[in-house]
Amino acid sequence: MSKAKRPTADLASRPYRPGVGMMLLDRRGRVFVGRRLDQTAEAWQMPQGGIDPGEEPRQTALRELAEEIGTDKADIIAESCDWLTYDLPADIADKVWKGRYRGQKQKWFALRFRGRDSDINLATAHPEFEAWRWAAADEMLRLIVPFKRALYERVVGEFRHLLT
């Protein structure tokens, strides 16, 4: 058996992929959510991505925002106190990131969007979303794929004071 195809049974022994997540807020306190284009089921999420070697999490957040939604017209207004994790479900763990990780360990940032809706352009060099919308935080939590819901609840709890 090759190293790339490890059995899912060793999932707990795999490391977490280091990354960031961005809770992008509009002027009304609504949250940006995008519907992933690589999923067959409805899979909505906030922008997130991996940290490149030598990159600081704050840099990653602004880079990933531009790469995923076509704009970086946002200001970081808060950072999560801790690194937060989520685990991938066993049925997809071997398919994501070539099976190297059990999930992600993320630093989360709240950002205030200072552009116009027309500044958001999902047709990026490597598109991840096929649609997007602004949603109230509680509505966003209902849209999120179940395996990320507990993480997103923690993020919303930490940044709830910024939603108004």
Q: Quick: pLDDT tens for 10-52.
A: 888 999 999 999 999 999 999 999 999 987 677 899 999 999 9
CATH classification of the domain holding 109: 3.90.79.10
Q: Structural domain of residue 99, as residue ranges?
A: 3-162
Percent of the chain's residues with pLDDT above 90 = 79
Question: 88, 69, 71, 74: which is closest to 129 by C-alpha?
Answer: 69
Mean pLDDT of the chain: 92
**Angle, CA of 150, 155 and 159, to the nearest 5°:** 150
Please give the tally of structural domains in the chain. 1
Quote the tokens at residue 104.
């992600």
Q: Quick: pLDDT tens for 59-95.
A: 999 999 999 999 999 999 999 999 999 999 888 888 8
